[in-house]
Chains A and B, each alone.
Chain A
């Protein structure tokens, strides 16, 4: 099972500098847990007690997962997931 996950610059400290890593799972939540097992600390940057962090965007095959099922979005082999920190401020 292989899902490619593209990692933004600011999170590459958890992936030994790699801009893409691979993982598996049936849902985004499982995929993130799987990544955490090899890249400790990554999950906490993506998820908080309420779910996906507000200012981190996660896309499944070009769609923002907020409009799909959030953490429960189904994922499968061959999917592409991209993580991008929001560009925002006040």
Chain B
């Protein structure tokens, strides 16, 4: 299950809407081993594409250095689909290389509603999980 704060959920959805029709992407970091998505970090989609996303390689290094200094890991890795459902594509599955992360997919294909779903992707296996949006993360 992914437990996420309403404010973080709102920030991710707003980011996806802002970048539509390009895919938006980013992470929510948290203390190593905590499973708490605490710090929202939107990232530039270097591909700037409606069908592909990739963190810029220099941004990626800076992000991981920063997480290292703060004893954090990527708890959520999110990106948006702008014309298809919020389900991991074959590419998403093939390129998922953080087995401990919750992979969040947001779909902005409909203007009046949003799909926000979360998955574990480990060794090519996808399993959807419940998303619990809370006022504040439980301690």
Contact = CB atoms under 8 A, between A and B. Distances in A.
B61 interface: yes
A89 B89 CA distance: 8
B54 A86 contact: yes
A57 interface: yes
Contact of A62 (B55, B61, B88): B61
A82 B67 CA distance: 14
Given A9-B99, A10-B99, A55-B95, A89 B60 contact: no
Interface in B37-82: 43, 47, 51-55, 57-58, 60-61, 64, 74, 77, 79
A25 B80 CA distance: 42
A38 to B, nearest CB: 23
Contact of B55 (A8, A10, A59, A86): A86
Nearest to A90: B91
Contacts of B43: 87
A88 B64 contact: no
Nearest to B79: A89
A86 B95 contact: yes
Interface residues of A, number: 17
B128 interface: no
B6 interface: no
B12 interface: no
Given A8-B97, A86-B57, A90-B53, 12 more contacts: A10-B99, A57-B57, A84-B61, A84-B64, A87-B55, A87-B74, A87-B98, A89-B88, A89-B91, A90-B51, A90-B89, A90-B92
Interface of B: 23, 25, 27, 43, 47, 51-55, 57-58, 60-61, 64, 74, 77, 79, 88-89, 91-92, 95-100
8 contacts: A55-B97, A57-B57, A57-B60, A87-B60, A88-B91, A89-B79, A89-B91, A90-B52
A-B interface, 8 closest residue pairs, ranked by CB to CB distance from nearest:
A85-B97, A90-B91, A88-B54, A89-B92, A87-B55, A64-B57, A90-B52, A57-B57
